[in-house]
């Protein structure tokens, strides 16, 4: 699917000075937050191209985590966040793979919080996502 794209203007945390061509893992989103079929089609195309981009996992027993999130799951987040959330559209979520070592985790958490605050935002809380590593393959386990 091809469409004509206009250069984006700086907006919020987005700065077009950091744009460059690369064959990497994709994120597809609209800066105006308007839901469109084009975004879904481009997301599916990106997932279909993961192998070409070198983003498919080499461990056949573990999924690569690829998928589409087509809307902020506000109701779910309110149920599990453990903090009071602002109105929908007034907060964001960062999903990070953190180190397992507690000292490294604390250091990275502090760095992430300082970075968020330097952008004029605030961290509302952290949530450790429940996991079940009983079915992952040897590469992911390592």
For the chain, which residues make up each domain, given as ranges?
Answer: 1-64, 72-142
Handedness of CA 118, 119, 124, 125 (dihedral sign): negative
CA distances from 70 to 73, 122, 130 (A): 9, 24, 22
| Mean pLDDT per 10-residue section of the chain, whose length is 142 residues | 67 77 70 88 84 63 72 91 92 88 95 95 91 79 76
CB 57 within 8 Å of CB 63: yes
pLDDT of residue 126: 92
**pLDDT of res. 72:** 84
Q: What's the predicted TM-score (pTM) here? A: 0.60
Q: Is 96 a catalytic residue?
A: no
State the pLDDT at residue 31. 84
DSSP string, 46-88: HHHTTTTTT-S-S-TTS--------S--HHHHHHHSSS---ST
Residue 33 structure tokens:
């937050």
**Choice among 22, 23, 79, 94 that is catalytic:** 23
* Residue 68: both structure tokens together: 């589409």
The C-alpha R_g of the chain, in whole angstroms, comes to: 18
């Amino acid at each position: 699917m091809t469409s004509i794209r206009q250069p984006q203007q700086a907006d919020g945390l987005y700065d077009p000075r950091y744009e460059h061509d690369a064959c990497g893992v994709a994120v597809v989103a609209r800066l105006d937050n308007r839901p469109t079929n084009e975004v879904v089609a481009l997301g599916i195309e990106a997932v279909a191209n993961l192998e070409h981009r070198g983003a498919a996992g080499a461990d056949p027993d573990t999924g690569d985590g690829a998928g589409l999130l087509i809307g902020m799951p506000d109701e779910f987040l309110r149920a599990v966040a453990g903090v009071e959330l602002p109105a929908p559209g007034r907060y964001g979520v960062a999903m990070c793979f953190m180190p397992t070592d507690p000292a490294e985790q604390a250091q990275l958490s502090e760095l992430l919080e300082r970075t968020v605050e330097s952008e004029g935002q605030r961290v509302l809380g952290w949530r450790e996502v429940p996991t079940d590593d009983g079915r992952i393959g040897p590469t992911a386990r390592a």
